[in-house]
Structure 1
Amino acid sequence: MSTRREAVRQALNESRGFRSAQDLYANLRAEGSKIGLTTVYRALQALSDSGEVDVLRTDEGEAVYRACVTDAHHHHLVCRACGKAVEVEGPAVEDWAASVGNQHGFADITHTVEVFGTCAECAAADP
C-alpha cells in the first residue's frame, strides 16, 4: 500500500466523525504533506472499495468518509451538529430490505441506511 494512502487512512483514524475529501486534503497539506487532492480521492476510493472506510452522503449530496470500526455490515447514527457517528446494527432493516426485494422478485439485495439526528452532547449545549 502506498504511503499516501496510508496517510489518508491515518487521518481518518484520527478523526472523530465523517470527513470530506477536501477537509482531509486541507488537513494533510497543513501538516506538510505534498499529497494532491486527486490522490486523496483515489486513496479514499481504494479504501472504500476494500471496505476499510465507510462512505455516506450528506444532506447536500457530498460524500464523506470515516474509518470503519467493524468489518460487519452496519449502519450509522450521525449527529447533524458535530458529525459524531455511531455504528449500529439494524436487524429489522435487514429483514425489511430482504422482504421488499423478494416481494418484487429481486435477488442479491443490498442497501444503505443512515440515520441522522442530534447527539446528547449537542442537544444539551443547545438551550
Structure 2
Amino acid sequence: MEDGHARAAGLRSTRQRRAVLDALGRCPEFISAQELHARLTDAGGTVGLTTVYRTLRELDRAGLVDVVRDDSGERLYLRRPTDEHRHYLICRCCGRSQPVDAEAVEVWAAGLAEATGFAELEHTLELTGVCADCRPGGAEEPCPRQPACAR
C-alpha cells in the first residue's frame, strides 16, 4: 500500500505509520495486529503495539484494509487492493484467504438500503471452509502452516 493512498484518505504520514503500511503491504494473507507488530519488531522496527492497533483502526476507517475475524473473534487485516471492499473465503485450518466474487451480495445490500431508506449501509460477510491442502484425505503431509490442522 503506497503512502499516497493513506494521504489521499486523509491520514497524516509519520515514520511509524509508514512502517506499518509497508509491513502490511508485504503480507499476502490476513494478519493480526500482534503478528504484524512481531514482524516489525523482528525486522528491527521500533513501532509500539498500541501504534499498530491505532494505525490499523485508522486504515479500516479510511477503507484501506479489509477486516475479518478469526474463530476467537480477533480482527485480522489485509491490504485492500482496490477502492471497494472485497469478500473472502478463509480456510479455518491454515488461515489462507481467497477473494470471491460476491456481486449478488452487493446488489442485495444496495436494494435493501433503497427499500428501507437506510443510508451508508455497511455489511460483513464471512465465508469459511477447509482448503484443499488442509482437507482430510488431501495431501499425505500435515498442513505446513498450522500443526493443529484438522487432519
Structure-2-length-normalised TM-score: 0.72
Among 24, 38, 41, the alignment partner of 2:36 is 24
Deviates more, 1:117-126 or 1:74-83: 117-126
Q: Distance in 1 between matches of 2:111 and 2:124?
A: 15
1:52-84: CA deviation from partner (whole Å, max 9, x where unpaired)? 211112221111111112222321111112222
**Which residue matches 2:25?**
13
Among 77, 90, 98, the alignment partner of 1:65 is 77
The structure showing larger relative contact order (alpha-carbon pairs under 8 Å, at least 6 residues apart) is 1
**Which residue matches 2:105?**
93
Return 5+ residue gaps in structure 2 as ranges: 1-12, 143-150
Deviation at 1:24, TM superposition (A): 0.9
Count how many residue pairs are aligned between Structure 1 and Structure 2: 127
1:116 aligns with 2:125: no
The DSSP-based 3-state class of the residue aligned with 1:121 is coil
1:56 aligns with 2:68: yes
Sequence identity (%): 46
Work out which of the two has the higher radius of gyration on C-alpha atoms and give 1 or 2. 2
Structure-1-length-normalised TM-score: 0.84
Which one has the bigger helix percentage?
1
